Chain A
């Protein structure tokens, strides 16, 4: 197989490497490590961290891309002695979920169903044609009687999965006993892990035989779509924030601190940007980029590369239009902080502006950054859904929460209603955004030396 490094993959790995470097630095400095130890002792924060790690893990797995080698042609001869690679880019996650990809039905089916959701004309063995719900090709295929034995079969498989999950958890708990020994949140971490293990175990046991979250319009497994959407969501949230932050912090803080001309220019910039409706701006940029991409199909070897570049551009455009709110908040807060006596004292020492900004202003406005980043994270995942609806979001071929919600939206008027797509996307998004929120809360509390001692 041939490894493929997409742009966003590279950025995700950079991000992970950056985090690892940060952890390394923090571990070597006692006073930096102290607040993080408090995070480690906070049950809610750690539970959220465990879930976030799971999501990140899935996103990273989904970012290890490759193109599988095509099976050698008939007769075993290789074209010109070279290995041919499939035009389709796969990720490690795709490989792990291969059964889910292959188990494609004809159309909608409800979770755990063994029959299709819509009636079809079925030709019976005796030649008669009736309209009925046909059996699914894969969902509950092992059942002799699709209706009677289903509940029992599901229970047995689920129980086996839960047992497997429990076993994995015991192994994990044993492996983690040393690092966890001193953590005050040990219990919570282990319980969260247990919950994750049990859910994953049950899903792993059921997914090859049933469509746990049902299937969508084209018969694709919704569980698979949801898992694939995680990477898109994390990427949009993280990359856009990464692009927003330097702009917002740099411009906002310097506008507040230096005032005068700098302030005028920055204010002019963000008022102008704010005066243009955001969606319009994004739509214009995306459409321009889209035509550019379409006129140069030769830039890309695979469709995935094209979708990936589109996603990256979307992040950039969102980032360029999104920094104004945070910048304005930071400007206001900086105006307040720069008048405080400790900044005046630093100026009386002749401390340079850069140093004042880094040591006095930034640490004292960082709580705003942290809060608004987390707020934006959820906002961005939702913005993606809106933009996808207008047709300027991620590539239609790319699985994302936005595309899933859009697909579900069209079917909400149906009777009986097709609810599982929406619920699955919502549940995963909810857990992702909530754990990000809770974790950020816990970090903010720990990083504020004033909150220490308060319980």
Chain B
């Protein structure tokens, strides 16, 4: 057994309150095995990893439990010895490749440092080993003298992996190593990790929130919820017959082509806070199958089948869990098909946005970055057009140019047949009611110093000056109802809400001026899957009720398959392929689309 964790408990002391973000976690990672720690944000998975590295932030401490690396207890080691273990026998890769490399040292220097430190290599031997490591992570040898800023995100993550391999770890911890990367790069990095794990026979503890990534990578999976492991079994068993109600719900909230037209199952409520005093099952309040005993009795992790551990009292008891059936959807109208001949809500004709590159003393224009390079699109009322592409392909610039937040350098933007590209001042302002935008990050999209009511009313105040204060307030209350927020939310500040609730506020703000088109710029990619389901359901409801058209910008293909009527694939500023969602996703014609589809995780182990 490479790494064995027993009853790990992490405590954070803040004033009088004592938070227990990790409560009794036990896992094991064998040699040549990949164990995935799966859970939504805030469930304690990252803290578990940091505790194993003994790198917990100030204020947090290991309260109880033990961790054995090759039989040696990590928590008993003095700090000096622990320093040799870190990056040596136990290494860790972090999520953000931008910040985990030192920007003023070359990649080569950073790998060398690791090698001299942990393996005491010098001179010729050192140079040979650095090149071997670079080759192992698939970086060309000349990259040795490159600085991190000269590398792409994927290359940086490779360099970081090379650094971590330098100490020849017996267990490698990877904390969301691909979350910040594009799908195609993610696929490469995941494959690399899996190959390295097999070649070297090391244990890999992969931390992720992505069920699909887990399916591709894991030998065994531990599902975490609110600081505890609720299910712990092999991949085959977990994906074949998940037992814990939470795990089962997680599978159901995932959007996919199969669920098209159905409402997604929602997990009601929120994860209990880490200081909550819960005797029974921590999921009981959100579990539709909870019975009295669930709340009253402490739930231990027990083995319900060989190699299948579960923290749920009802499985295998006298009152087994009922089967979960997805809610029957009301079905969506065959959107847009009937109106296809009508004037589209938004039409882009050869839209181009070129940013000048200025050089030299006199800032001469030396060339252009063609962020958007001749894009033509049309969106009809009640239709969802998904714009798919990787970061840097010009999706966001396209959205902003369509909204006239960036001046397009060429082409036309037609709103219900009228060219708004030449409008100015008051005329443009009046047109702004027709199009609104919802952003990716619900934390930066709401002004932290304004109350939710004022945030929602802002557009009304600017675009509907005819409404008086009372009518505005009534409208805000109505909007809060519609997006499923309590009415008293209007008087509170954004930081009092969770990510999903803030996204609802952002949607309410956009809806306030009664737009016909909503541009959603990755509206769910910063949210947990259970919250994503809620937001997607909300968007679907709004579309059905109001006939809204959506321009849905995303890189998440299952969401596209679930939601979109048509799909446009964008690559380097151009639309390379466009068509009906079902047809395009099942039979892509363009090379790039095929690559995107093949990179998407979730097709099972490689």
Interface, chain A (partner B; CB < 8 A): 31, 340-342, 344-352, 355, 359-360, 363-364, 448-450, 452, 455
B356: min CB distance to chain A, Å: 13
Assess A364 versus B493: contact at CB under 8 Å? Given A345-B509, A349-B463: no
Contact of B429 among A345, A350, A364, A455 (CB under 8 A): A350
Asked if B446 CB lies within 8 Å of chain A CBs, one says yes
Contacts of A455 in B (CB 8 A): 14-15
Contacts of B15 in A (CB 8 A): 455
| B450 adjacent to A359 (CB under 8 Å) | yes
| A345 adjacent to B439 (CB under 8 Å) | yes
| A344 adjacent to B405 (CB under 8 Å) | yes
Assess A31 versus B444: contact at CB under 8 Å? Given A349-B432, A351-B462: no
Interface string of B290-313 (1 = CB under 8 A from A): 000000000000000000000000
| A351 adjacent to B458 (CB under 8 Å) | yes
| A449 adjacent to B405 (CB under 8 Å) | no
A233: min CB distance to chain B, Å: 32
CB closest chain-B residue, reference A360: B447
Assess A341 versus B444: contact at CB under 8 Å? Given A350-B428, A363-B449: yes
Which 5 pairs show the lowest CB-CB distances between chains A and B? A341-B445, A350-B429, A363-B449, A449-B493, A349-B459
Contacts of A352 in B (CB 8 A): 462
Classify chain B: how many residues form its interface, as a range: 35 or more
Q: A341-B445, A344-B400 are in contact. List 7 more A-B contacts (CB 8 A).
A: A341-B439, A341-B440, A341-B444, A348-B435, A359-B450, A364-B449, A450-B493
Contacts of B506 in A (CB 8 A): 345
Within 8 A of A (CB), among B388-411: 400, 403, 405
Chain A to chain B contacts (Cβ below 8 Å), 16 pairs: A31-B451, A31-B491, A340-B444, A342-B455, A344-B405, A346-B462, A349-B462, A350-B428, A350-B463, A352-B462, A363-B447, A364-B448, A364-B449, A450-B493, A452-B495, A455-B15
CB closest chain-B residue, reference A352: B462
Asked if B441 CB lies within 8 Å of chain A CBs, one says yes
Contacts of A348 in B (CB 8 A): 403, 405, 432, 435-437
A427: min CB distance to chain B, Å: 34
| A449 adjacent to B429 (CB under 8 Å) | no
Contacts of A344 in B (CB 8 A): 400, 405, 437, 439
Contact of A349 among B400, B446, B447, B513 (CB under 8 A): B513
Alpha-carbon separation in the docked complex, A223 to B429 (Å): 64
| B437 adjacent to A450 (CB under 8 Å) | no
Within 8 A of A (CB), among B326-358: none
| A346 adjacent to B428 (CB under 8 Å) | no
Residue picked from B435, B445, B458, most chain A C-beta under 10 Å: B458
Alpha-carbon separation in the docked complex, A363 to B451 (Å): 12
Alpha-carbon separation in the docked complex, A360 to B451 (Å): 12
CB closest chain-A residue, reference B454: A359
Alpha-carbon separation in the docked complex, A137 to B263 (Å): 96
Contact of B445 among A31, A342, A350, A355 (CB under 8 A): A342
Alpha-carbon separation in the docked complex, A352 to B432 (Å): 13
B296: min CB distance to chain A, Å: 31
Q: For the complex, would chain A's binding face be called helix, strand, loop or mixed by DSSP majority?
A: helix
Contacts of B400 in A (CB 8 A): 344
| A341 adjacent to B432 (CB under 8 Å) | no
Contacts of A359 in B (CB 8 A): 447, 450, 458
| A452 adjacent to B448 (CB under 8 Å) | no
Alpha-carbon separation in the docked complex, A184 to B495 (Å): 25
| B447 adjacent to A364 (CB under 8 Å) | yes
Alpha-carbon separation in the docked complex, A363 to B454 (Å): 14
CB closest chain-A residue, reference B440: A341
Within 8 A of A (CB), among B451-498: 451, 455, 458-459, 461-463, 491, 493, 495
Contacts of B403 in A (CB 8 A): 348
| B462 adjacent to A342 (CB under 8 Å) | no
Contact of B495 among A345, A351, A449 (CB under 8 A): A449
A302: min CB distance to chain B, Å: 48
Contact of A350 among B14, B462, B491, B510 (CB under 8 A): B462
Contacts of A31 in B (CB 8 A): 451, 491
Contacts of B509 in A (CB 8 A): 345
Contacts of A346 in B (CB 8 A): 458, 462
Contact of B462 among A340, A355, A364, A449 (CB under 8 A): A355
Alpha-carbon separation in the docked complex, A355 to B446 (Å): 16
| B445 adjacent to A345 (CB under 8 Å) | yes
B198: min CB distance to chain A, Å: 42
Alpha-carbon separation in the docked complex, A449 to B495 (Å): 8
| B437 adjacent to A342 (CB under 8 Å) | no
Contacts of B429 in A (CB 8 A): 350
A111: min CB distance to chain B, Å: 44
Residue picked from B435, B462, B491, most chain A C-beta under 10 Å: B462
B507: min CB distance to chain A, Å: 11
Alpha-carbon separation in the docked complex, A351 to B436 (Å): 13
Alpha-carbon separation in the docked complex, A355 to B101 (Å): 41
| A345 adjacent to B493 (CB under 8 Å) | no
B481: min CB distance to chain A, Å: 21
B44: min CB distance to chain A, Å: 21
| A450 adjacent to B405 (CB under 8 Å) | no
| B432 adjacent to A350 (CB under 8 Å) | yes
Residue picked from A352, A355, A359, most chain B C-beta under 10 Å: A359
| B441 adjacent to A341 (CB under 8 Å) | yes
Alpha-carbon separation in the docked complex, A346 to B458 (Å): 8
| A342 adjacent to B446 (CB under 8 Å) | yes
CB closest chain-A residue, reference B450: A359
Alpha-carbon separation in the docked complex, A449 to B441 (Å): 19
B397: min CB distance to chain A, Å: 12
A329: min CB distance to chain B, Å: 18
Assess A345 versus B437: contact at CB under 8 Å? Given A350-B462, A350-B463, A450-B495: yes
Contacts of B405 in A (CB 8 A): 344, 347-348
A132: min CB distance to chain B, Å: 64
A94: min CB distance to chain B, Å: 45
Residue picked from B436, B446, B449, B455, most chain A C-beta under 10 Å: B449
| A449 adjacent to B448 (CB under 8 Å) | yes
Residue picked from B436, B448, B461, B491, most chain A C-beta under 10 Å: B448
CB closest chain-B residue, reference A31: B451
B235: min CB distance to chain A, Å: 38
Alpha-carbon separation in the docked complex, A399 to B165 (Å): 70
B415: min CB distance to chain A, Å: 13
CB closest chain-A residue, reference B492: A449
Alpha-carbon separation in the docked complex, A341 to B439 (Å): 7
Alpha-carbon separation in the docked complex, A363 to B495 (Å): 15
Contacts of A345 in B (CB 8 A): 437, 439, 445, 506, 509-510
Alpha-carbon separation in the docked complex, A74 to B106 (Å): 94
Contacts of A349 in B (CB 8 A): 432, 436, 458-459, 462-463, 513
Alpha-carbon separation in the docked complex, A340 to B450 (Å): 14
CB closest chain-B residue, reference A339: B444
CB closest chain-A residue, reference B437: A348
Contact of A342 among B440, B444, B491 (CB under 8 A): B444
Within 8 A of A (CB), among B502-518: 506, 509-510, 513
Assess A450 versus B458: contact at CB under 8 Å? Given A345-B509, A347-B405: no
Alpha-carbon separation in the docked complex, A211 to B429 (Å): 72
Contacts of B455 in A (CB 8 A): 342
| B462 adjacent to A450 (CB under 8 Å) | no
Alpha-carbon separation in the docked complex, A449 to B15 (Å): 20
CB closest chain-A residue, reference B510: A345
B97: min CB distance to chain A, Å: 22
Residue picked from A342, A348, A355, most chain B C-beta under 10 Å: A348
Within 8 A of A (CB), among B191-234: none
Alpha-carbon separation in the docked complex, A446 to B441 (Å): 26
